[in-house]
Amino acid sequence: MGTMTYDGAIVEFDDRLLTHLQIVVMQRLRRGEGFVMSWLDALEVGDGRSSVWMSPHIAVYFKFAGSRVPEIVEEWLRVLSASAASSRGLIVTDQDGRPSRALRGNRRA
């Protein structure tokens, strides 16, 4: 389980998912593009969802639990990238396209 820290919020995702999110998020931010990112909340904080405006002017930090980079699935990257470019923004989904849930509740750094 890894974490993404953004503007004081810490969100935990599976390392494999987080690796794919890192690639997509950094592609957008590197181009100077802001976008919305949304995910299902961890069950421990309810059955809601969260969204954040990802801005190229705010640092984002990815911390992975494992030391090995998981296999990168190009089709999954294409789906996530298309989502990030849409008016709805990046909807965090698993490899099968189902909405993905944070593994632990969102918390502040």
Q: What is the pLDDT of residues 79-99, one digit of tens each?
A: 999 999 999 999 999 999 999
Is the per-residue pLDDT at 106 higher than 80? no
Question: How many folded domains does the chain comprise?
Answer: 1
Domain range enclosing 45: 2-108
What's the number of CA atoms in the CB half-sphere (13 Å) around residue 28?
A: 28
Q: What is the pLDDT of residues 31-61, one digit of tens each?
A: 999 999 999 998 887 889 999 999 999 999 9
pTM: 0.92
What mean pLDDT is reported for the chain?
93
